């Protein structure tokens, strides 16, 4: 698939490296594709393309938003036409705010976007280290053909996808992220902890 990743930091890079290895075309959307930072990124990610956001979105079928939370509103507004109809996976968090995700912000700017809440509830190290369904990853979004695509992309990271439900369950998925953050930053657990769905 053609995957655009907006935000080439911890989360974006981790997913991009794994999806590129799986054979997907991965294009990172950056603020300035000619900056020294972009050049360094290009050198460190030989299997991916480093472009501006509009270029990255041009042929994309799926978009991962892994930007700082506050950067999302302007980015989706500016690129609304290019995002129309696309599958968008929102990994962004604003812990402590009344709304932790960017679902409404994305849909307000791009009503036709098919938005999924994914990659938000675990630290990037978990996604980096996971393999062969070693941990579970809970996500939500509409149950249609797009969900199969998102589910496959999650599985390709090495975590087991667990669909929680449609957008009405986003608070549950967000709460799992809050749980992870609480355990790591307040209870002293390591950043590679993850949840596992098991049967008694
Ligand atoms: N870190 C985690 O473990 C984790 C886990 C789950 C979810 N998340 C969420 O995922 C998002 C990304 O987290 P992160 O840790 O990957 O952050 P990060 O390492 O700071 O990376 C953010 C990236 O976004 C880029 N960026 C900023 N504004 C941009 C813009 N307007 N257009 C294009 N690129 C832009 C930054 O580029 P510059 O360097 O040029 O600023 C940087 O490459 C956050 O919302 C976070 O809450 C993080």
pLDDT per residue rounded down to tens, the chain (200 residues): 999 999 999 999 999 999 999 999 999 999 999 999 899 999 999 899 999 999 999 999 999 999 999 999 999 999 999 999 999 999 999 999 999 999 999 999 999 999 999 999 999 999 999 998 889 999 999 999 999 999 999 999 999 999 999 999 999 999 999 999 999 999 999 999 999 999 99
Q: Between vectors from CA 34 to CA 37 and to CA 25, what angle results, nearest 5°?
A: 85
Max distance between CA atoms of the chain, in angstroms, equals: 54
Q: Which atom of ligand 1 is nearest to the CA of 35?
A: 40
pLDDT score, position 170 = 98
Provide the 8-state DSSP code for 99.
Answer: -
Sign, CA dihedral 96-97-102-104, equals positive
The number of beta carbons lying within 10 Å of the beta carbon of residue 17 is 16
pLDDT score, position 134 = 85
pLDDT score, position 133 = 85
Whether 14 is in the pocket of ligand 1, judged by its Cβ within 6 Å, is no
Which residue's CA is the nearest one to ligand 1's atom 31?
71
Which residue ranges form the domains of the chain, and what is each CATH number?
2-185 (3.40.50.720)
Q: Compute, in angstroms, the gap from residue 135 CA to the centroid of ligand 1.
A: 23
Which residue's CA is the nearest one to ligand 1's atom 24?
7
Using only C-alpha atoms, the chain has a radius of gyration, in whole angstroms, of: 16
Which residue's CA is the nearest one to ligand 1's atom 36?
7
| Euclidean distance between CA atoms 29 and 77, whole angstroms | 15
Q: Which atom of ligand 1 is nearest to the CA of 7?
A: 24
DSSP string spanning 138-175? EEE--SSHHHHHHHHHHHHHTSEEEEEESGGGHHHHHH
Tell if the pTM clears 0.95, that is, is over it: yes
Which residues have a Cβ under 8 Å from the Cβ of 30 and sit 6 or more positions away? 8, 37, 38, 41, 50, 51, 52, 53, 56
Q: Compute, in angstroms, the gap from residue 9 CA to the centroid of ligand 1.
A: 5
Q: Which atom of ligand 1 is nearest to the CA of 92?
A: 45
Q: Between vectors from CA 106 to CA 180 and to CA 51, what angle results, nearest 5°?
A: 90
Output the CA–CA distances (angstroms, integers) from residue 91 to 39, 46, 102, 185, 190, in the order listed: 25, 24, 9, 19, 20
């Amino acid at each position: 698939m053609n995957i655009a990743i907006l935000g080439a930091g911890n989360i974006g890079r981790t997913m991009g490296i794994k999806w590129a290895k799986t054979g997907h075309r991965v294009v990172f959307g950056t603020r300035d594709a000619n900056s020294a930072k972009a050049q360094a990124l290009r050198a460190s990610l030989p299997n991916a393309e480093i472009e501006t956001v509009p270029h990255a979105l041009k042929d994309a079928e799926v978009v991962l938003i892994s930007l700082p939370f506050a950067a999302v509103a302007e980015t989706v507004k500016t690129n609304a036409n290019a995002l129309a109809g696309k599958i968008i996976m929102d990994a962004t968090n604003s812990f402590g705010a009344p709304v932790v995700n960017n679902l409404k912000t994305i849909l307000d700017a791009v009503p036709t976007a098919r938005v999924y809440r994914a990659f938000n509830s675990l630290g990037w190290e978990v996604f980096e280290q996971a393999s062969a369904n070693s941990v579970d990853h809970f996500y939500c979004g509409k149950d249609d053909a797009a969900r199969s695509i998102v589910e496959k992309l999650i599985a390709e990271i090495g975590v087991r996808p667990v669909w929680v439900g449609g957008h009405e369950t986003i608070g549950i998925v967000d709460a799992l992220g809050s749980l992870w953050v609480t355990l790591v930053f307040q209870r002293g657990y390591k950043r590679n902890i993850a949840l596992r769905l098991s049967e008694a």
